[in-house]
Amino acid sequence: MIRKEVANVQKALQGVTNGQTLMLGGFGLSGIPENAIAELVQLGVSGLTCISNNAGVDDFGLGLLLQKKQIKKMISSYVGENDEFERQMLSGELDVELIPQGTLAERCRAAKAGFPAFYTPAGYGTEVAEGKETREFNGKMYVLEHAFKADFAFIKAWKGDAAGNLVFKGTARNFNPNMCGAAEITIAEVEELVPAGTLDPNQIHIPGIFVQRIFQGVNYEKRIEQRTVRQKQ
């Protein structure tokens, strides 16, 4: 059995350089690859294109890379929780491509499955469709969208084994599965790394064939974007 395990995040991120395109899993702050993002900050790589549903918050997640001006372009769906993102976008410092959320997920999944493009009705008749091929199917108009091309995909899972098999927990099973295998190299960080053969095959969400490197992460904060509680009656 091929072992995908590497000793730490430093070894996992070998080969990441300036100007690359990166996919990063997560929805809000749930299931984001915290260790990989922290290491990207330490590496100081710049000119990055980041594909992620959102851009973190000002002092956490991808917001840390934005603070250091390491991101050249963001390809995202929801970015409303980051003031620095807004400032850089409005000032022209940051190139931004906003994509309907389902289309973002499908462009990742298409890359994973080996499909070069697909048609979707989302965005037809809006700015999203400008300059893109459109086609009618059964009386309805669709927009041609192309699969993403990325150098690395960074994934966060709850548990994994040395062969790269992954299990997600709760809402962390969001964009992460679609991004596994959607880049040239997929790197998974997990809260618990176990020997191959330990996981119940019926509980595995992503088989190891989609993962090239896996390591056990440390010091997860698991922040919440906004906490709303009801006042005690």
Mean pLDDT by 10-residue block, N- to C-terminus, for the chain (233 residues)?
A: 91 98 95 97 98 92 95 92 90 95 97 97 94 97 98 98 96 95 98 96 96 96 80 79
Q: Which helix (H) or strand (E) holds 202?
A: none
Q: Which domains does the chain show, CATH number per domain? A: 9-109+149-216 (3.40.1080.10)
pLDDT in tens, 89-148: 999 999 999 999 999 999 999 999 999 999 999 999 999 999 999 999 999 999 999 999
Give Cβ neighbours of residue 98 (< 8 Å, ≥ 6 apart): 76, 77, 79
Cα separation, 229 vs 232, in Å, equals 9
- pTM value is 0.93
Question: What residues are paired with 75 via a beta bridge?
Answer: 51, 97
* H/E run at residue 119: strand 117-120
Sign of CA dihedral 192, 44, 174, 143: negative
